Amino acid sequence: MKKSLLIFSALPVLAFSQNRHINFETGNLASVFEKAKKENKFILVDAYTTWCGPCKWMSKNIFTNDTAADYYNANFVNLKIDAEKGEGIAFAEKYDVRCYPNFLILDGDGKVIHRVAGSMPTQAFVSFGKTAFEKEKTFSYKKSEFEKSILTEQNVTEYIDLLMSCCLDPSARALEYIASVKEADLNKENNWTVLRDFVYNHESREMKYFLSNLNLFEKSFGKDAVVQKLEQLGKSYFSKYTRAKEFDKSGYENAKKEFANMKWPNTDKIIFEADMEAYKRFDNAKYYELAASDFQKHYNNDSQELNGMAWNFYEKVSDKKLLGSAVKMAQRACEINASYANLDTYAAVLYKSGDLKNAETQANKAIEKAKAENMGADDYKETAELLKKIKSGK
């Protein structure tokens, strides 16, 4: 079971399926473009993957809604394309599709008119389609206007939001912009947003100013925001070692000593996270040992991290002692947030550790939670299969 997805918008309140559905074309891309030209219509493209939960949600609840079906069937040629298979692979590369679901509105020549990413309720989905006919509100028009002009403190976050709404990368122009800002203006709200989200080079002018004026930024944006940025920046300090093709252990250990001497807030946690990233890639045994011994110290209140680690243990670890730590991780994650994903992981690690009685209890809770969240049987089928294994004692 996949425990995480690319970034998506939050799932809205469920819409009720009705009698009609959006009619998606079954031919290849060339035939779809030909039909769009012949009918003088735009093309709605739903770029999806088979593993994407929000994609399935849209298919089940929005594409089958009468309002959405009537609007898109009347005004568009509609196409669903699996971004990881067949023509979808080249399509995703050409149109820079990075997350799912990704909705694009194209003209008959394949030019992007409008686009957005993420699940949405019916009215928002219909509004998205209508916007394609209001030129100055479309993604392509706005992007073009930004590209003609210089980014300013007033519009820089609008530009960033525009690209990120489609999972596109605004970092190049964001960094170009922040390099033009006077140091005295770096703690203004929009400039802080750019610095916080896009500047990771601790040797840069912007970061040197930030590090020399932490109190100023804390006063403006709060201590938690500043500490979070320091932690992100700290991880980037080690990225040349943690992301290298081969592990330079000596260089990495020296970098840790250098970083510790800088005495940043949360230095222990930053080094722990760097170790976790490095060892996960280069020394699995040490990764699991470190995660098992220190997870409570650094992640005891982070259900997402706990769940991710516990699932990693479930997939890769057989040692009973280490699995015992994974059980504690999963249990703690459920104490913080008893979501379907967390309960499912808890059941899985209990099962692998040999605690079948408690595994059965948690698997049943996971299925009950899935049903309460209006998930279909297909969405929790792996938990149901796990429950069968638990009951059979295999």
Query: For position 14, what pLDDT does the model report?
Result: 43
Structure tokens at 62: 């929005």
Measured between alpha carbons, how far is 214 from 388 in angstroms, rounded to an integer? 55
Distance CA 258, CA 252 (A): 10
pTM score, whole prediction: 0.74
The verdict on whether 55 is a catalytic residue reads yes
- Tokens, residue 151: 């980014």
Q: Residue 52 catalytic?
A: yes
Quick count: other Cβ atoms within 10 Å of Cβ 54?
21
Closest CA to 1 of 394, 388, 379: 379
CB atoms within 10 A of CB 209: 16
How many of the other CB atoms lie within 10 Å of CB of 85?
Answer: 10
Per-residue pLDDT of the chain (394 residues; tens, 9 = 90+): 333 344 344 444 444 446 799 999 998 999 999 999 999 999 999 999 998 989 999 999 999 999 999 999 999 999 999 999 999 999 999 999 999 999 999 999 999 999 999 999 999 999 999 999 999 999 999 999 999 999 999 999 999 999 999 999 999 999 999 999 999 999 999 999 999 999 998 889 999 999 999 999 999 999 999 988 998 888 889 999 999 999 999 999 999 999 999 888 889 989 999 999 999 899 989 999 998 988 888 888 999 999 999 999 999 999 999 999 999 999 999 999 999 999 999 999 999 999 999 999 999 999 999 999 888 888 889 999 999 999 987 6
C-alpha span between 113 and 393 (Å, rounded): 56
Which residues are CB-contacts of 3 (< 8 A; sequence separation ≥ 6)?
Answer: 307, 308, 311, 341, 345
From the CB of residue 261, how many other CB atoms can be counted at a distance below 10 Å? 8
CA distance 360 to 387: 6
Is the Cα dihedral 81, 85, 90, 96 positive or negative? positive
Query: At CB < 8 A and 24+ separation, what contacts does 177-184 make?
Result: 177/151, 178/206, 179/205, 179/206, 181/153, 181/206, 183/209
Integer Rg of the chain from CA: 24
Q: Which residue from 376, 313, 306 is spatially nearest to 343, judged by alpha carbons?
A: 306
Contacts of 61 (CB under 8 A, 6+ apart): 14, 15, 16, 17
Beta strands at 102-106 and 76-82: parallel, antiparallel or unpaired: unpaired
SS3 content of the chain, % helix, strand, coil (to 5): 60, 5, 30
C-alpha to C-alpha distance for 293 and 40, rounded to whole angstroms: 63
Q: Give the whole-angstrom CA distance, residue 144 versus residue 18.
A: 39
Nearest to 233 by CA among 258, 183, 286, 197: 197
Beta bridge partners of 78: 24, 44
Which residue, 304, 303, 279, is CA-closest to 291? 279
* Residue position matching structure tokens 């994650």: 333
Any residues with CB less than 8 A from the CB of 142 and at least 6 apart, and which?
A: 136, 162
CB 83, CB 91: distance < 8 Å = yes
